[in-house]
Structure 1
Amino acid sequence: MKVSVVLCTYSMDAYDDFREAADSVLAQTHDDVELVVVVDGTEPVYERVRGEYGDRDGIVVHCNDENVGLLRSRNRGAELASGDVVAFIDDDAVADEAWVARLVDAYESHDAVAAGGKMVPAWVAGKPAYLPSEFYWLVGVTHRGFADGPGEVRNTFGSNISFRRDAFLDLDGFDPDIGGRKGDKNLQGGETELCARLGREYGQGVYYVPDAEVAHKVFEYRTDPMWLLNRAFWQGYSKRAMETLVPDSGDEESAFLGKLLFRFFPNRVKRAVTGPSATQALQAVALLVFTGVVGLGYVYGAWKW
């Protein structure tokens, strides 16, 4: 089974991170991998990528005529790909060498139409003591409570997700307006919307493979409390917007909220009291604060949408 991995990039400042991402794809243990690089309208980046990777077998390099955004770039990469499966990874992530092989196993063993894996943190500036693992999703990392093990889920993160290419193209790929509806660039959820359509059309979700790991670099600015609070607010807004755009998209969030309030938070409080642990206490407080801010964003989204 041939797998095409689409990697989009656009900034010269991120080139070293892009190179690490690209090299991790080229180092996969699976023996039939194609790397499709889409440069989003930045000619100097394209020239550098083409000079370093353009003459190598199994690599496709393309530059958009102008900056069109991540989702359109991913769709273009899927069109250029030649694999049976098209997978996506971001330019600030690094794939485990067995990532593709483990995704392929999901297709071959479970007849999956889509498969994705686990995002693990690569703390560039150190892990913030106050950030509870239940809210790792704020920094693009698979959080505590996401899934109990392998099996079907609604969707995984966009930096570790794949589809049978014919199904992806049949669905017209990602909706490029997600992230820009009503002129609001803070709307997130391209993979949520696509996977909802996938479920309606094919009767399947994404097969989750926790051993198919991709490390996401968590840069220092993403551990700033104000950045995280802002992110939490707009994630709440996006969740409400997704419920409007995709009426069947909210079940997983509701289930997670139940775990958060009735299992994870009481457990953290108990450990903080019986420990006692200043870190556990801090994370218990942060869990409540982040939950409240997500809720405020959700309420704001209900008003806007």
Structure 2
Amino acid sequence: MTGIDVSIVIPTHSERRWESLRRTVKSALAQEKPPTEVIVVVDHNAALFERARTELSGVTVLENTSVRGASGNRNTGAFHARSELIAFLDDDTVAHPGWLGHLASQFTDRAVAGAGGSIRPAWEHHRPAWMPDELLWTVGVSYEGMPTAVAEIRNVWSAGMMVRREAFAAVGGFRAGFGKLGDENRPEDTELCLRISAETGGRWMYVPESVIEHDVPVDRSTFRFFLRRCYAEGRGKVQMSALLPRDQKLGTEQDYLRRVLPRAVVRNLAAATMGRGGFHALRAVTVIAAVAAAGFGGGVETLAQTPPRG
């Protein structure tokens, strides 16, 4: 079994995810092509840091030296790493054995700056009947409309991404303070991908064969959580847009709104009228509710950024 020059960084912040963190670490160490090192970074939690340092073997355990939040936490681990490639796993994910190798295979092309793979849901209870395939991103997993074969893509998700260390360092890593913290859920991974592409000219690749599973607890399977997530996404995309150069537009989001979601409404309404299940009607309504919630969040954020007159 031959390893590859990759450091895996796993950020963590809460004792509530201890068992999940252990599963994540185990899956990272069990890769078919083992990494050079696995780094666990604890986000300003002294008790968890001591437990991780004591009980986790085969890994390096660090304390976050940056500001609180997922972005600073990941940066601490990434800037400690010395491998040519840096991969990230969230502490509520499990990587399939071939995850690392499939991602690393893309980096024989020097034009590739980063890559990401497929994220599958691990439902604690069951998938809600009203959840359309096109909106599975609300629970942090791959969704209908993404490539089904290896393809260039605008951005990947931090839960299972791999990036060249030199490209990551060139832009200073994730934007500290912008990202997941408490109830805030801003697209720090999308922002990073766009910044790296603009700075280095490097491409991002989507590799469906590279698979991780992402826990979806019961409290994230509710319609209330779903609406809050869409609202937060609307606000987050407006915040991210304000950070982008004027010539860098959110074309992927516009295409998703214009093509993918309308098709989802039509398809589910057609299925419902043909007697294939009343849940299809619920899914059509859910798409409309998602657009409304995201639009409302975007409007709120736009108003918040608008300077007062006079």
Q: TM-score, normalised by structure 1?
A: 0.92
Q: Is the 8 A contact 1:179 1:185 kept in 2?
A: no
Aligned equivalent of 1:202 = 200
Deviation at 1:79, TM superposition (A): 1.2
Deviation at 1:134, TM superposition (A): 0.8
Bigger drift between 14-23 and 289-298 goes to 289-298
Deviation at 1:65, TM superposition (A): 6.2
Partners of 2:53 and 2:93 lie apart in 1 by 20
Partners of 2:54 and 2:219 lie apart in 1 by 31
The correspondence for 1:42, drawn from 41, 45, 49, is: 45
Partners of 1:169 and 1:271 lie apart in 2 by 49
Q: Deviations over 1:86-118 (max 9, x none)?
A: 011110111111000000111125752111111
Q: Does 1:11 align with 2:39?
A: no
Aligned equivalent of 1:87 = 87
Q: Deviations over 1:33-78 (max 9, x none)?
A: 4101111122221222112235x3xx21112368722111111101
Bigger drift between 253-262 and 34-43 goes to 253-262
Partners of 1:150 and 1:80 lie apart in 2 by 30
1:1-305 aligned within 5 A: 1-54=4-57, 56=58, 59-64=59-64, 68-108=68-108, 111-179=111-179, 186=184, 188-246=186-244, 247=246, 248-305=248-305
Inter-CA distance 115–138: structure 2 relative to 1 (3 Å threshold):
same
Inter-CA distance 53–176: structure 2 relative to 1 (3 Å threshold):
same
Inter-CA distance 143–176: structure 2 relative to 1 (3 Å threshold):
same
Inter-CA distance 31–92: structure 2 relative to 1 (3 Å threshold):
closer
Alignment size in residue pairs = 300
- Match of 2:112, SS? coil
Q: Which runs of 5+ in 1 are unaligned?
A: none
Partners of 1:188 and 1:89 lie apart in 2 by 18
Q: Which runs of 5+ in 2 are unaligned?
A: 306-310
